[in-house]
Amino acid sequence: MEMFDHIGLAPRIDELRERCPGNRFHFRELTLDEQRTPTLDFGRLPGTQYNYYGKVNQNDLDRALRASLAANHALYPEYGVEYLDSVQDGDAVRVRLRHGGEEGTVEEVTVPWLVGTDGSRSSVRAGLGLAFEQREGASMSMSMVDARLEGFRGDRNWVNYYVSEKGFMLVTGLPGGKFRLYLAGELEKLLQDAPPQKAFQQGLDFFDTGARIAEMDWSSTWEIRKIVGETYSKGRVILCGDATHVHSPAGGQGMNACMQDAFNLGWKLALLIQRRAQPGVLESYGAERRPIAQQVTAGADRMHQILFNASIPVAERFKLTQDPAWHDEAILRISALSHNYRGVDGTLGSVELPASAPLPGDRAPDCVLSEQPPRMRLYDALRHPGFTLLVVPESSEQVYAAYAECASQLRRAFGHLVRTLLVTPVRVPGIDPDELLLDPLQQVQATYGGAANQLILVRPDLYIGFRGTLGETLGLQAYVGKWVPAARLGP
Ligand SMILES: Cc1cc2nc3c(=O)[nH]c(=O)nc-3n(C[C@H](O)[C@H](O)[C@H](O)COP(=O)(O)OP(=O)(O)OC[C@H]3O[C@@H](n4cnc5c(N)ncnc54)[C@H](O)[C@@H]3O)c2cc1C
């Protein structure tokens, strides 16, 4: 949702989605009262206004994205065009595309970069000759249906996980009134002998949900695999999303992870296309996103053990949910808010920060600046394609002058690539109002762990790139210069 928010699409998705507070775990072999039923409550997520799951119909989402592309960029992605193969040739990639099915016409296009977002069976990846095999553990299968239910005793708003020694079931309401059901483990084998409606009904009865399937839409069975590709790009061909990592759907993290790949890549690719990027910018995409894919896979694995691992007794699986750290770690991981690029990107200058403060490499947390209409959040000020420098000064003429000098140096070095903002509770005479971000309650300082007289640089994809003192403008320029050559460095 934050990514949609960044491109102005969140209000539309808000209209389309059904709000889901989180996950509820029902362990069939245990008698648990409401109090002890483990839940993952996304309402407890800190530093974001999107503290819930949004359940959205994929076709609606697709239409919303297309409408946004058409309205804002006059772009119209085509359906029914198949990627066949490609050849890298100097500064370009020659790609063969087929229109209109097997008997259709073949078109050859030449593009500066090719991004393979063609899913886990990616032809683009195959064309690069990259291996994509599961190395450890057996894959397992899972089935799903969309259905109209009558008499469901649970809460349709939540994602209800039903866990048993015999298998797993998921039941949750969808926008429009229907339900999504998943079945796995021993119970899924019922599908070998019975039609889907009957098998899923047996699952619902087994978990005593009270629900009867009144009508069924469609069903599907797929294999859960766990693979993280070794290479995210080769020359001018880049892989993104399921084309380069797949994992257990436990927790439902796949789409977020795939969109974040694209969000990480987008601004870097823009610099490359504009021929402004420093060498190594593309490599940073894989260097940053591959460890995240590994973390997502490890996190999904932990949830997988609770939901699906028949070799662990249900009481043991319940115990895994009782670790006091489990809840907060899980919601932060599943929402992807705790994923970070620490150790891969980010420069920390000589500032002393409390342990809870967000560091370079972390996602830049959002906060409310003003509840009064027009309601204003920090992310509203970050909604542009470049870097943003936040300076939270202690009020003194000297500090304002230091800010103005820093902003002017950045403009000379990087033009409009870096937007600079002075974050203050009140207007400051002599500073361009476009460079002032009013924060009457001083929420930015509180959220960023006492940020007075500091430089906080937020990357275009909303991660912190640099934190330092107001005196460390050279370090800041060196950091930005790592991405884009500076026209002129220094004062
Ligand atoms: C049953 C199930 C439930 C899931 N539930 C969740 C969930 O609750 N939350 C979540 O975040 N994630 C979930 N996921 C994961 C999520 O769906 C995927 O991670 C995500 O869709 C991957 O996006 P992608 O764009 O990389 O690939 P895909 O969604 O697979 O898209 C690839 C596209 O490329 C097209 N394509 C393939 N080959 C070619 C070609 N040669 N030429 C042209 N086009 C081609 C395909 O038709 C497809 O449209 C679930 C996955 C499954 C299977």
Tokens 């990592």 sit on residue: 245
Q: 242 and 263 in contact (C-beta within 8 Å)?
A: no
DSSP-derived secondary structure for 6-56: HTT-HHHHHHHPEEE-EEEEEETTS---TTTS-EEEGGG-SS-S--SEEE-
**54 Cβ closer than 6 Å to some ligand 1 atom:** no
Helix (H, G, I), strand (E, B) or coil at 235: coil
Closest CA to 473 of 425, 419, 424, 403: 403
CATH number of this structure's domain 347-481: 3.40.30.120
DSSP state letter for 189: G
Rounded Cα gap, residues 318 and 336, in angstroms: 24
Q: Is the dihedral of CA 402, 408, 410, 412 positive or negative?
A: negative
**477 Cβ closer than 6 Å to some ligand 1 atom:** no
Rounded Cα gap, residues 303 and 56, in angstroms: 23
- Rounded distance from Cα 242 to ligand 1 centre (Å): 6
**86 Cβ closer than 6 Å to some ligand 1 atom:** no
Task: For residue 253, give every residue at least 6 positions away whose Cβ sits within 8 Å of its Cβ, in sequence order, or none.
Answer: 247, 296, 299, 300, 333, 334, 336
Nearest atom within ligand 1 for CA of residue 256:
11
Q: 214 and 149 in contact (C-beta within 8 Å)?
A: yes
DSSP state letter for 463: B
Rounded Cα gap, residues 391 and 453, in angstroms: 7
Closest CA to 226 of 293, 128, 130, 170: 293
Helix (H, G, I), strand (E, B) or coil at 215: strand
Nearest atom within ligand 1 for CA of residue 241:
26
**117 Cβ closer than 6 Å to some ligand 1 atom:** yes
- Rounded distance from Cα 209 to ligand 1 centre (Å): 30
Rounded Cα gap, residues 476 and 348, in angstroms: 10
CA 87 to each of CA 98, 116, 186, 235: distance values in angstroms, whole numbers, following the listed order: 16, 14, 46, 11
Structure tokens at 446: 């509180």
- Ligand 1 atom 43: the closest Cα is on which residue? 82
For the chain of 491 residues, list the mean pLDDT of each consecutive stretch of 10: 95 96 93 85 94 94 97 95 95 96 95 97 95 79 96 96 94 96 92 92 96 95 90 97 91 90 97 94 97 90 86 91 91 92 96 94 96 91 96 87 94 95 91 93 93 93 97 96 86 65
Nearest atom within ligand 1 for CA of residue 243:
26
**249 Cβ closer than 6 Å to some ligand 1 atom:** yes
Structure tokens at 138: 């057996």
H-run or E-run covering 224: strand 212-224
pTM for this prediction: 0.94
- Rounded distance from Cα 19 to ligand 1 centre (Å): 22
Q: 370 and 426 in contact (C-beta within 8 Å)?
A: no
One-letter amino acid for residue 92 of the chain = A
**242 Cβ closer than 6 Å to some ligand 1 atom:** yes
Burial 60-73 (b: 16+ CB within 10 A, else e): bbeebbeebeeeee
Closest CA to 358 of 346, 370, 374: 346
Q: 107 and 213 in contact (C-beta within 8 Å)?
A: no
State the pLDDT at residue 491.
Answer: 65
**119 Cβ closer than 6 Å to some ligand 1 atom:** yes
State the pLDDT at residue 489.
Answer: 65
Rounded Cα gap, residues 377 and 438, in angstroms: 10
Helix (H, G, I), strand (E, B) or coil at 170: strand
- Ligand 1 atom 33: the closest Cα is on which residue? 118
Structure tokens at 88: 């890298």
User: Which of 160, 242, 246, 339 has the most ligand 1 atoms within 8 A of CB, as the residue to mutate?
Assistant: 242
**361 Cβ closer than 6 Å to some ligand 1 atom:** no
**254 Cβ closer than 6 Å to some ligand 1 atom:** yes
Q: 174 and 57 in contact (C-beta within 8 Å)?
A: yes
Q: Is the dihedral of CA 54, 57, 58, 60 positive or negative?
A: negative
Q: 19 and 54 in contact (C-beta within 8 Å)?
A: yes
Tokens 């001083």 sit on residue: 442
- Ligand 1 atom 27: the closest Cα is on which residue? 119
Q: 223 and 274 in contact (C-beta within 8 Å)?
A: no
**215 Cβ closer than 6 Å to some ligand 1 atom:** no
148, burial (CB in 10 Å: exposed 0-12, middle 13-18, buried 19+):
middle
CA 288 to each of CA 83, 232, 366, 437: distance values in angstroms, whole numbers, following the listed order: 27, 10, 21, 30
Nearest atom within ligand 1 for CA of residue 122:
38
State the pLDDT at residue 490.
Answer: 66
Helix (H, G, I), strand (E, B) or coil at 226: coil
